[in-house]
Chain A
């Protein structure tokens, strides 16, 4: 029962660093990961720390994660160059079901990272994909070139109107729903946005899957740092992708999360 069990960072040379916007970088590694969209890896910056990141890109022989430089750890990652050594562990967590024929993806900020991987997989499967990608401002919008001319509908929106539709991704979703019937909505982004997406999906009686984030230490379901109230389930193991029904039972969703010592931290807008 312990055979083949191992969680240990594998140190790889960064194969490529792609600038995706202001303080937004994709780190690509040449290794076959066999991940499913929505899954994440633990990324080790040797001597510094280990943190979870969603997989934003995958092909036959490589994969990438897209990182936004917003804190101590990610700012250090912004300085990582091609050929530098980073450790990876995983892939971990649940993935999006990829069900439905007419699907809508809503990505907010860095939450667009796993949605981009999902969009490409769904396109390969011949689904009708609408991808709403939102950010505060133009510099925060990623992957616009990656999806240019692809057989899908890309709806870019910015809160400040500096690019695309002026308004929230959730407003763009409501507008799309007026025009079209979707089987399912997949979402990843700030919880305030995802909560609104869940509410809209509920109102329109459509399925919805959410990728949640919580403070993680081990990433593989043992430390218990990422458990959510009141279910006590681990976001790294029973998540990070959860269906709407489960998310509705998580009372801390869009209210608070626990930090590194386990203390509840309210979302700033609560």
Chain B
């Protein structure tokens, strides 16, 4: 009932662990897959090791999460065995997320990570938390988004997901450019904003990076709108990410046009078994409303 697929990769259910959460090690990804995720995504992997930003790196309220972890990772060489371990032991497909400072580095990473044979590669071109070092995210510039996508695709035979930023004037236009450049799937959206929270007793920004990407319930309408618009402008599948906490949220995202839903901050709100909970809730909804196949939901809001 919950089966879905992303460019040929079969998922038992549409919940996908979003990149950046619980993706530090292979064992962690396996644990998430045991908790019901239809697919799991590694934390973004770069060329060299990075410690990330000092703490606090994340705060939450009942409405949103705000984080600036700063792309900490152990570098491609040491990350590869973790990805291999995850692929070997995970019940669900593994998506390898990569990030880089330069277009050419994306090519190197794409080539290297392909040796581990992940189900999909996700190019993270939309992290909002390293601007001071990296400059504006590639996803905010149509030409840069195109160049990076081409470079990643050129260096692998594995289907490529491109993760887009909501912090642009027209995300559907960028999606179309990225599709033309060879992307097999769009993941929308990365965190929004970025935002800023100030501690009023010390007068200091709380996050050490000052600003952070906003996630969680508050950004769901932004994500749903982005997916809705992208669905109209591309033919490739979409992973809808942003504020999916419940089965109802997931259904809404799929009706907007998502073939699968990314879940990150939901791990905080509902626990590590959020994937199983969301899947069960989707099933309950489908039974109640008389749906028998996820395909009936995907893009349904466009056909009324």
Which residues of A are interface residues toward B (Cβ below 8 A)?
1-9, 11, 42, 44, 46-51, 85, 87, 89, 217-218, 220-225, 227-234, 237, 258-264
B202 part of interface (Cβ distance < 8 Å):
yes
Question: What residues of A have a CB within 8 angstroms of the CB of B32 in the complex?
Answer: 232
In residues 24-51 of chain B, which contact A (Cβ within 8 Å)? 24-25, 27-32, 43, 49-51
Given A9-B206, A261-B51, decide whether A229 and B27 contact each other with a Cβ distance below 8 A.
yes
- Please measure, in the bound complex, the distance between the C-alpha atom of A45 and the C-alpha atom of B32, giving whole angstroms: 32
B166 part of interface (Cβ distance < 8 Å):
no
A222-B58 in contact (CB<8A): yes
B62 part of interface (Cβ distance < 8 Å):
yes
Render B211-248 as a binary contact track against A, CB cut-off 8 A, 1 for contact: 00000110000000000000000000000000001100
- Please measure, in the bound complex, the distance between the C-alpha atom of A227 and the C-alpha atom of B27, giving whole angstroms: 8
Question: What residues of B have a CB within 8 angstroms of the CB of A6 in the complex?
Answer: 60-62
- Please measure, in the bound complex, the distance between the C-alpha atom of A51 and the C-alpha atom of B197, giving whole angstroms: 19
Given A1-B246, A231-B31, A232-B28, decide whether A223 and B206 contact each other with a Cβ distance below 8 A.
no
In residues 261-278 of chain B, which contact A (Cβ within 8 Å)? 264-265, 267-270, 272
B62-A3 in contact (CB<8A): yes
Question: Closest A-chain residue to B71, C-beta based?
Answer: A261
The number of inter-chain residue pairs (CB within 8 angstroms) is 150
- Please measure, in the bound complex, the distance between the C-alpha atom of A136 and the C-alpha atom of B62, giving whole angstroms: 45
A232-B27 in contact (CB<8A): yes
Question: What residues of A have a CB within 8 angstroms of the CB of B246 in the complex?
Answer: 1
A9-B56 in contact (CB<8A): yes
B54-A85 in contact (CB<8A): no
A46-B62 in contact (CB<8A): no
A232-B31 in contact (CB<8A): yes
Question: What residues of B have a CB within 8 angstroms of the CB of A232 in the complex?
Answer: 25, 27-32
Which residues of B are interface residues toward A (Cβ below 8 A)?
21-25, 27-32, 43, 49-52, 54-63, 65, 67, 69, 72-75, 78-79, 197, 199, 201-202, 204, 206, 208, 216-217, 245-246, 264-265, 267-270, 272
Question: What residues of B have a CB within 8 angstroms of the CB of A260 in the complex?
Answer: 51-52, 72
Q: Give min CB distance, A242 to chain B, whole Å.
A: 15
- Please measure, in the bound complex, the distance between the C-alpha atom of A260 and the C-alpha atom of B53, giving whole angstroms: 9
Question: What residues of A have a CB within 8 angstroms of the CB of B60 in the complex?
Answer: 5-8, 220
B269-A229 in contact (CB<8A): no
- Please measure, in the bound complex, the distance between the C-alpha atom of A201 and the C-alpha atom of B32, giving whole angstroms: 32
- Please measure, in the bound complex, the distance between the C-alpha atom of A3 and the C-alpha atom of B24, giving whole angstroms: 28
Among B24, B50, B60, max chain A CB count under 10 A is at B24
- Please measure, in the bound complex, the distance between the C-alpha atom of A190 and the C-alpha atom of B17, giving whole angstroms: 34
A217-B55 in contact (CB<8A): yes
Question: What residues of B have a CB within 8 angstroms of the CB of A228 in the complex?
Answer: 27
Question: Closest B-chain residue to A237, C-beta based?
Answer: B272
A217-B208 in contact (CB<8A): no
Given A222-B268, A263-B49, decide whether A231 and B27 contact each other with a Cβ distance below 8 A.
yes
Q: Give min CB distance, A165 to chain B, whole Å.
A: 38
A49-B28 in contact (CB<8A): no
- Please measure, in the bound complex, the distance between the C-alpha atom of A218 and the C-alpha atom of B265, giving whole angstroms: 12
A227-B25 in contact (CB<8A): yes
Question: What residues of A have a CB within 8 angstroms of the CB of B78 in the complex?
Answer: 263-264
Q: Give min CB distance, B282 to chain A, whole Å.
A: 15
A51-B27 in contact (CB<8A): no
Considering the complex of A and B, which 9 residue pairs feature the smallest CB-CB distances, nearest first? A232-B31, A50-B55, A224-B22, A232-B27, A11-B201, A227-B28, A260-B51, A49-B54, A263-B74
Given A4-B62, A50-B56, A260-B51, decide whether A11 and B268 contact each other with a Cβ distance below 8 A.
no
Question: What residues of B have a CB within 8 angstroms of the CB of A89 in the complex?
Answer: 56
Q: Give min CB distance, A268 to chain B, whole Å.
A: 20
Question: What residues of A have a CB within 8 angstroms of the CB of B27 in the complex?
Answer: 227-232
A221-B267 in contact (CB<8A): yes
B202-A46 in contact (CB<8A): yes
- Please measure, in the bound complex, the distance between the C-alpha atom of A4 and the C-alpha atom of B56, giving whole angstroms: 20
B24-A258 in contact (CB<8A): yes
Q: Give min CB distance, A167 to chain B, whole Å.
A: 36
Q: Which of A5, A227, A262 contacts B269 (CB 8 A)?
A: A5
Q: Give min CB distance, B166 to chain A, whole Å.
A: 20
B270-A1 in contact (CB<8A): yes
Question: Closest B-chain residue to A47, C-beta based?
Answer: B204
Q: Give min CB distance, B91 to chain A, whole Å.
A: 13
Q: Give min CB distance, A216 to chain B, whole Å.
A: 9
- Please measure, in the bound complex, the distance between the C-alpha atom of A7 and the C-alpha atom of B58, giving whole angstroms: 8
Q: Which of B29, B52, B54, B267 contacts A50 (CB 8 A)?
A: B54
Question: Closest B-chain residue to A3, C-beta based?
Answer: B62
Q: Give min CB distance, B219 to chain A, whole Å.
A: 13
Known contacts A2-B269, A9-B59, A224-B28; 16 additional CB pairs below 8 A are: A1-B245, A4-B62, A7-B59, A46-B202, A47-B208, A50-B55, A85-B201, A222-B65, A223-B67, A227-B25, A227-B28, A230-B30, A232-B29, A232-B30, A261-B73, A262-B74
Question: Closest B-chain residue to A51, C-beta based?
Answer: B55
